[in-house]
Amino acid sequence: MVDGSWTATNQFSGIGWFYKDSMGKIQLLETRNLQRRETSVHSELKALKYAMENMLQHSTCQRFGTDCKDLIAMVANPQTWPNFSTELEVIQILQMCFPKFRIIYIPRAQLELLIH
């Protein structure tokens, strides 16, 4: 699961991700506080990139979850999001390392259940 937080008034934005094993136990969890990204979607993209880079080092996980439908649309059709082309190019390169890559939508209401 990946997530980015963002508000127009804060100097910083946050990103984070966690990985649960097949038994449902959290194995990896990381968060970062960064200079505020341009938009909330930029934060979501940064969170996905960060999670993918870390999963390459720690697991064979191929499935990522997000509560951001725009992020899923961007990954599926990057050419329709030209303002994010630089970030999406990096995601596409990382995707090559995940032969069975999937990104799925998880409603925010279900996140509490996933975390606990």
Q: Please give the chain's pLDDT, 116 residues, in tens.
A: 888 887 778 888 888 899 988 888 888 888 888 887 778 898 999 999 999 999 999 887 889 999 999 999 999 999 999 999 999 999 999 999 999 999 999 997 776 555 55
The answer to whether 94 touches 49, Cβ cutoff 8 Å, is: yes
For position 5, what pLDDT does the model report?
Answer: 80
> Measuring CA to CA, which residue among 108, 105, 20 is closest to residue 66?
105
> Measuring CA to CA, which residue among 55, 38, 54, 53 is closest to residue 4?
38
Question: The pTM is what?
Answer: 0.86
The answer to whether 105 touches 64, Cβ cutoff 8 Å, is: no
What are the structural domain ranges in the chain? 2-115
Homologous superfamily assigned to 2-115:
Ribonuclease H-like superfamily/Ribonuclease H (3.30.420.10)
Alpha-carbon distances of 113 from 83, 94, 106, rounded to whole Å: 34, 28, 11
And the tokens for 87? 């970030």
For position 29, what pLDDT does the model report?
Answer: 86
